[in-house]
Structure 1
Amino acid sequence: MHEDLQKLMALQALDLEAKKLRDEMAALPKHVADLDTKAKAIAGQRAVVLDLIAKEEALRRRQESDVKDQQAKVAKGKQKIGNAINTVQVTAFEHEIAFAEKEISRLEEAELESMMRSEELDAQKTVADKALTAAESTHKSERERAIATIAADKIAVAAVDVQRTAQRATIGEDALSLYDRIAKAKGTGIAEALNQKCTACQMMLRPQRWNDIRERDHTEMTTCESCGRLLYYDPARDSPQRKTVTPERTESIAAQIVRGL
């Protein structure tokens, strides 16, 4: 293994840890904002339900008032009948009473329908109350967790960055430049070669390249021909059944002639 490859492996582990911490710090505020948006949306839905409940209550108050007005007309009509001087007046007053009683029935039926709607709205309000309480509680707890996590992540990132700086100082300039270029393009600069594959892109390695990487005295910087990442090999992780691949060799024409004699 190249003398800088092991150092680059350690550097990549630090780079990935720093990236994970920074990604978490970037994601948490969005997560909290999404929870806040959700809680506000539930509050908005609850407000609609409350408005509908208030409208139904106002409607019933008007209906109750109208019923009383019609009941007063019925009572007044009955008094008029008692004072009527002929059948024509009696018939007219009876029509007024019948109309008022019919209107009372209509209003009472409408009032009953309103009460049924209010019962449904009250059930919706109960659900909305519970949902809003849960959403606000989740938002509050997640916000507190995010604040604590981000504070801890900032400290952790600072510590990792110190280690990264120290590690980079131990690596050769050419190897470090190569790693930085690959990592910038691919996200990672190094991948393990395992079972004749690059574990990053899962592409097979040519037999000769696989054999070269497996050689104990191999000190070259070897890259994956597919993704371009630097490759390393760990004998402890290799499949015990996998044997060194022997590349096929094409017999020369001269050898074929000699073998045929």
Structure 2
Amino acid sequence: MKADPAVQHRLLELAEVDAELNRIHHRRRTLPELEEIGRAERDLREKRDSLVTAQTALDDLDREIKRLETEVEQVRAREERDRKLLDSTGSSKQLEDLQHELSTLSRRQEALEDDMLEVMERREAQEANVTHAREEVATAETTLEDAQGRRDEALADLDTSEAKRDAERAAFIANLPQDLLSIYDRIRQQRGTGAGLLRGSRCGACRIELDRTALTRVREAQADEVVRCEECGAILVRTRESGQ
């Protein structure tokens, strides 16, 4: 294939634009904020799970307190009923039974109130755990939002750079022969770099020196002949730096 040497030279500018686009794409995939966001998301999930566990424990204690309060009320109601019966009974046997039951109810109420006091103390400590867990969630959410904000800013900058390079590329390819551009793009898609400057005996695309036979073949080729590197396949653009 043949192409004017000046046209081939423009491939170097196109290759530089494509190299910059490749760097932008790589940067987009490897933003440090992406890894940071991943860590922040995992941390937030853990913090939220801890909050659910703490809140569940607090809810269990609230139910336990309500149960004890209900039992205390039942004991008090039973005690009030027994005292009324005590005031109205004339039977010594019934009187003795009621006094025994009142004594039992008193001990039961005391035990329930002791239990409730212990549960309420545990609830107070657990409520502090829930408050701490909520603060931890809030901190984790802030950390995630901050990382996401920095990621969005970085992506916006990359979008701007990419749009600029895309416009430059469109301007370059508009002035290149379609057959030459097709070969260049095919090589670039397969190898990563479509063209490189031959500087001395070194390919500017793969940085490998051509052996003597390959170098002789390239130097003997006509100036408008499109030649390629035997190592990486890139189009070798020849200038005065190539020793031609």
Distance 2:83 2:202 in 1: 102
Distance 1:157 1:88 in 2: 96
Structure 1 segments unaligned to the other structure (5+ residues):
237-261
CA offsets 1:12-38 (integer angstroms, 9 cap, x no match): 22123234446767899x959979976
TM-score, length-normalised on structure 2? 0.58
Distance 2:197 2:113 in 1: 81
Task: State how many pairs are aligned.
Answer: 228
Is 1:63 matched with 2:72? no
Whether the aligned pair in 1 keeps the contact of 2:197 and 2:205 (CA below 8 Å) is: yes
Task: Summarize the Cα distance change of 1:102–1:149 in structure 2 as closer, same or farther, 3 Å threshold.
Answer: same
Distance 1:84 1:199 in 2: 117
Identical columns (%): 16
CA offsets 1:218-258 (integer angstroms, 9 cap, x no match): 97623344x5445689xx9xxxxxxxxxxxxxxxxxxxxxx
Pairing 1:228-239 to 2, within 5 Å after superposition: 228-230=233-235
Equivalent residue, structure 1, for 2:167: 162
Higher RCO by CA contacts (8 Å cutoff, separation 6 or greater): 2
Equivalent residue, structure 1, for 2:100: 94
One-letter identity of the residue aligned with 2:21: A
Task: Summarize the Cα distance change of 1:205–1:141 in structure 2 as closer, same or farther, 3 Å threshold.
Answer: closer
Is 1:127 matched with 2:130? no
Please give the secondary structure, in 1, of the residue aligned with 2:129: helix
Distance 2:102 2:9 in 1: 103
Give the Å deviation of 1:128: 3.1
Please give the secondary structure, in 1, of the residue aligned with 2:161: helix
Equivalent residue, structure 1, for 2:14: 11
Whether the aligned pair in 1 keeps the contact of 2:79 and 2:102 (CA below 8 Å) is: yes
Distance 1:168 1:77 in 2: 102
Is 1:108 matched with 2:114? yes
Give the Å deviation of 1:181: 0.5
Structure 2 segments unaligned to the other structure (5+ residues):
none
Pairing 1:28-107 to 2, within 5 Å after superposition: 41=45, 45=49, 46=51, 49-50=54-55, 52-71=57-76, 73-74=78-79, 85-86=91-92, 89-91=95-97, 93-95=99-101, 97-98=103-104, 101-102=107-108, 104-106=110-112
CA offsets 1:65-91 (integer angstroms, 9 cap, x no match): 432442454576577668674356425
Equivalent residue, structure 2, for 1:259: none
Query: C-alpha root-mean-square deviation of aligned residues, in Å?
Result: 5.3
